[in-house]
Amino acid sequence: MTLDSASLTAASDSPLRLMPKVELHCHVEGSARAQTVAELAAHHQIEIGVDDPADLYHYESLAEFLAAFGTVCSVLQTPQDFHRLAYEAAEDGAYAGIKYREMFFSPGFHLERGIPFDVMWQGLVAGVAEGEADFGTRTRLILDVDKPKLLGPAMALLEIARGLDRDLLIGIGGDSTERGIDHRVFAPLMAEAHNIGLKTCFHVGEDGPAENIRHMVDAGIDRIDHGTRLLEDPELARQVIDEQIPLTSCPSSNAALGIVDSLADHPFAAQREAGALITLNSDDPTFFQFDLADEYERIAATFDFDHDTMVAINDAAITASWLDDSDKAVLRAEFSNPDLAR
């Protein structure tokens, strides 16, 4: 497997690693193995600024993280590169116990380097299919727009999304920083995405205020990515809880990027206690050098959650997924069958 196994805290036979899981917030580019980045950089003769690619994966803020994310993206040039990326993400996901994942890709980072959309899409489609066949990790994709580029490029991507296979592309999201962005500009994107049958989610309440969550809720968002600062607006929190708008929380990512001071300071437990439909996710596993199994172990240890609570947190991810009801029932039946545990 990938992630340098020495950095993974959840042992290969730990119950939380073996638990079959669903993940709803993970970036395919944020799952690039350091070794793969090194090999692709050498192959394409791309300067990545470090001798050891593992040195890319050090940062203390979202801004520094996003710079590293851009560097990793720069080595992805051909359909074969995107294929390998998605395939290896499925292999690593399987090791984390992931059976079903709704996964982001971020075309804005590639288009700005002159990589045609079809190059990434063809590669991802092939890698997702082969990864599912070989490792049993079923992956569906969410196209994330680059929020700082604002509405125009986002709408252009939605036009491309219109023609893509809906069995594979299930939603539109938005990532990168929230700083300096009035999220109300994205309301037409949400409306048009819904018009063409796509679900919506956005990274909000991460490095920006609860007000950004409010603006996306007002625009009819289906799921909130991060939502770390939700409880700072009690009225909004009430609405999100009453309407059970899911949160895809990534506590260790937030701790690593200084969004919260420490894992113990993360509002995950408080949001859950308040009744939010909150799910647990790794965000960018290779970039943070832990995977979803590690995240489950860390959260269980930090908040003293017992195994049944972790099972319930995983079940919330089935509820919050964009599978239809019959697929959710199938997944629940599979997950309650202990023979599935490897």
What is the set of active-site residues? Answer: 206
187-195 and 210-218 helices, crossing angle to 10°: 40
Is residue 30 part of the contact set for ligand ADE (CB under 6 A)?
yes
C-beta of 92 vs 283, nearer to Zn ion: 283
Min dist. Cβ of residue 225 to Zn ion (A): 6
Which amino acid makes up residue 166?
R
Which amino acid makes up residue 113?
R
Cα gap 342→335, rounded to integer Å = 12
C-beta of 112 vs 334, nearer to ligand ADE: 112
Min dist. Cβ of residue 108 to ligand ADE (A): 11
Q: Which residues pair with 142 in a beta bridge?
A: 104, 171
Instruction: Rounding to the nearest 10 degrees, give the CA dihedral for residues 178, 69, 156, 170.
Output: -90
Is residue 248 part of the contact set for ligand ADE (CB under 6 A)?
no
Is residue 88 part of the contact set for ligand ADE (CB under 6 A)?
no
Is residue 102 part of the contact set for ligand ADE (CB under 6 A)?
no
Site for ligand ADE in 120-179 (CB under 6 A): 175-176
Residue 274 is classified by DSSP as T
Determine which residue in the list 17, 27, 83, 272 makes contact with ligand ADE, applying CB under 6 A.
Answer: 27
Which residue number is nearest to ligand ADE in terms of Cβ? 175
C-beta of 77 vs 298, nearer to Zn ion: 298
Is residue 206 part of the contact set for ligand ADE (CB under 6 A)?
yes
Is residue 203 part of the contact set for ligand ADE (CB under 6 A)?
yes
Cα gap 163→196, rounded to integer Å = 10
Residue 323 near residue 167 (C-beta atoms within 8 A): no
Is residue 283 part of the contact set for ligand ADE (CB under 6 A)?
yes
Query: CA distances (Å), 37 to each of 46, 57, 302, in order?
Result: 10, 11, 32
Size of site (CB under 6 A) for ligand ADE: 11
Cα gap 274→278, rounded to integer Å = 10
Residue 315 burial (CB count, 10 A): 17
3-state secondary structure at position 76: coil
Instruction: Say which entry of Zn ion, ligand ADE, none residue 321 contacts (CB below 5 to 8 A, set by partner kind).
Output: none
H/E run at residue 195: helix 187-195
Cα gap 212→227, rounded to integer Å = 9
**Structure token pair of residue 128:** 């997702």
C-beta of 79 vs 146, nearer to Zn ion: 146
Residue 123 is classified by DSSP as H
Cα gap 232→125, rounded to integer Å = 40
Size of site (CB under 5 A) for Zn ion: 1
Min dist. Cβ of residue 283 to ligand ADE (A): 5
Site for Zn ion in 274-303 (CB under 5 A): 283
Determine which residue in the list 253, 271, 282, 314 makes contact with ligand ADE, applying CB under 6 A.
Answer: 253
Instruction: Say which entry of ligand ADE, Zn ion, none residue 208 contacts (CB below 5 to 8 A, set by partner kind).
Output: none
Instruction: Say which entry of ligand ADE, Zn ion, none residue 206 contacts (CB below 5 to 8 A, set by partner kind).
Output: ligand ADE
State the residues that interact with ligand ADE by CB under 6 A. Answer: 27, 30, 62, 69, 175-176, 203, 206, 253, 283-284
State the residues that interact with Zn ion by CB under 5 A. Answer: 283
